[in-house]
Amino acid sequence: MILSIYHFCKKIDLSALCFALLIFLSPIYADETGSNDVGEVKADEQTYIEATLIGRYMSNQTFFKNSPYAFVLFDTEYGEDDWKISGGVFGQKGLPHPDFPINHLYLDYFGENTHLRIGKMVAKVGVLDYFSTLDTLNPIRLEFFDDPKMNIKRVPVWMAQADYSPIDEMKLSFFLQPYDSKYQDYSGYYVNYALNRFVPQHYHEFFQQNPIGQDIFAPVYYNAISPFIAHEIDSKTPSEPWSIQNTSFGLGTEYTDDRGKFGFLYFNRYSEIPLIRVDQNLLDAAILYDNGEDVSPALTEYLASMDLDPIKSVQGFRYQQAGFYAETTMDSYGIRAEAAFRDKVPLLNTYGSVSSFGFAIDHVSDSSTYYALEAQYLHLSKYNKDAMIGMFTAKFEPISFSVFRGHFENRLIAAAVDNMADVAVNPSFSIEYDRTDLVLQGIVSGNNSESNSVSILLRSTF
């Protein structure tokens, strides 16, 4: 099993690339751009209920095994000229991570040149919608990847954001976010899914070629990676309390004028994904196998030891990340770009650094069809490995049928990590009546049929 993890991680090489590829293989989520600008106009009092019922079928039943599932959000806000309170409570059924019924609860204060928001909330940073490496403040709810409401498609977390504008064109921002260990588990859930998705093609090859693998590792790995490895990782994951030592903070500055905007972000964060240390003898055996050499002596040495526990520790750590972003328009085209560098990403028994560059171009044609291309490139310096992921989106003009409106859109997604590559399409057709949408979606992968899925969504706002 650990040979399989190593073989997978050596190809993917870092957890950030796992997530990039996971986003490619799973349904894509779309962010609202929102507005955190100082002097934001306070909305009038609003109260509404949003209900979403989703049934998904994936060909290997690995990820959406609890489908159908439901999410109901009661959302309200109230305020005066210089302050506003927003809150929401929710109920859910069938989702993998139950939580407190408070979905979000935060206070906005609007000063003359300041804006303070504190509470459980979603904060959007950067300019990319799909593959941003700068936007790490809120986990993704992949189950609701296309929900139009930010507080559903992303998980609100406790934090504070303070914005100050020394001049009209400039904004200075400060972020403070306590660490919450349940989001480490939340991230690990999707990592396990990604491991389950890729590892089997490697462990079957090993089991067929090596008798020790057949006798020792096959029984452990019989039911995929998650039942065994998740328990081992969870049992060794330290319980991290809310503390100053584990709190994440960030600084940002943004300049906006008629030509567009340009910004800089710096974050010092406690990682949601830990560093996993495995037995070095077992890791050496995996390296021998990966190089085409005989693994039996290394495995024999490992099996002869008194301690056969493959996972030695699960450690939390801090990392630093800095990046730039820019956005402008040229004729009828919107152009956005981000560049980032992170000094630590967890590899097996060690760390690596990763640099990334992403860009997006969008355009609305004369026929009101919306086109967008977004791509992200990542480079892991330690092993000199690269990953690329891109998506082309087409949203066509709505068609009216009596009292109904029909919408069709399609995404073409392509990704490559080391020597693994795939192309997939994600078509979506929706029928809208008043404030209710019935949506039929699908994912068809060129090389990985296990990720194929069909989904039916019923979404209503009251």
pLDDT tens column, 304-341:
665 666 777 888 889 999 999 999 999 889 999 999 99
- Min mean pLDDT across 66-75, 93-102, 134-143, 269-278 is at 93-102
> Mean pLDDT across the stretch 81-110?
84
pLDDT at residue 142 greater than cutoff 80: no
- Kindly indicate the confidence band of residue 240, based on its pLDDT and cuts at 50, 70 and 90: low
pLDDT at residue 62 greater than cutoff 80: no
pLDDT at residue 284 greater than cutoff 50: yes
Q: Provide Rg for the chain, Cα atoms.
A: 23
- Min mean pLDDT across 35-39, 41-45, 134-138 is at 35-39
- Beta-strand relationship, 69-79 and 83-93: antiparallel
CATH 2.40.160.10 fits 2-461, yes or no: yes
- Kindly indicate the confidence band of residue 373, based on its pLDDT and cuts at 50, 70 and 90: very high
- Min mean pLDDT across 97-101, 115-119, 363-367 is at 97-101
Cα separation of 260 and 330, whole Å? 10
pLDDT at residue 180 greater than cutoff 60: yes
Cα separation of 86 and 443, whole Å? 35
- Min mean pLDDT across 117-121, 136-140, 374-378 is at 136-140
- Kindly indicate the confidence band of residue 360, based on its pLDDT and cuts at 50, 70 and 90: very high
> Mean pLDDT across the stretch 50-79?
73
pLDDT at residue 108 greater than cutoff 60: yes
- Min mean pLDDT across 124-128, 383-387, 400-404 is at 383-387
Evaluated on CA atoms 292, 293, 298, 300, the torsion sign reads positive
pLDDT for the residue 402: 86
- 2-12 vs 182-198: helix crossing angle, rounded to 10: 90
Highest mean pLDDT among 182-196, 255-269, 393-407: 255-269
pLDDT for the residue 226: 40
Q: How many CB atoms lie within 10 A of CB 95?
A: 16
Question: Which carries the bigger pLDDT value, residue 116 or residue 189?
Answer: 116
Q: How does the average pLDDT of the chain come out, rounded?
A: 76
Cα separation of 348 and 67, whole Å? 33
- Min mean pLDDT across 107-111, 179-183, 249-253 is at 179-183
Q: Quote the tokens at residue 333.
A: 């085209």
Provide the b/e sequence for 162-178 (b: ≥16 CB within 10 Å): bbebeeeeebebebebb
**Residues 104, 77 contacting (CB under 8 angstroms):** no
- Kindly indicate the confidence band of residue 32, based on its pLDDT and cuts at 50, 70 and 90: very low
pLDDT for the residue 190: 54
The reported pTM is 0.78
pLDDT at residue 122 greater than cutoff 80: yes
Question: Which carries the bigger pLDDT value, residue 403 or residue 296?
Answer: 403
Q: What percent of the chain shows pLDDT beyond 70?
A: 67
Distances (CA, A) of 149 to 31, 49, 51, 152, 239: 9, 12, 11, 6, 32
> Mean pLDDT across the stretch 442-455?
80
Whose CA is closest to 320, among 354, 277, 350, 347? 354
Going from N- to C-terminal start, the domains of the chain cover 2-461
- Kindly indicate the confidence band of residue 420, based on its pLDDT and cuts at 50, 70 and 90: confident
Distances (CA, A) of 364 to 37, 369, 393: 26, 6, 12
- Kindly indicate the confidence band of residue 9, based on its pLDDT and cuts at 50, 70 and 90: very low
Question: Which carries the bigger pLDDT value, residue 432 or residue 46?
Answer: 432
**Residues 125, 340 contacting (CB under 8 angstroms):** no
- Min mean pLDDT across 23-32, 55-64, 129-138, 173-182 is at 23-32
**Residues 192, 223 contacting (CB under 8 angstroms):** no
pLDDT for the residue 266: 98
| Residue 159, beta-bridge partner list | 119
pLDDT for the residue 330: 93
**Bond preceding residue 68 cis, omega within 30 of 0:** yes
- Min mean pLDDT across 57-61, 85-89, 162-166, 208-212 is at 208-212
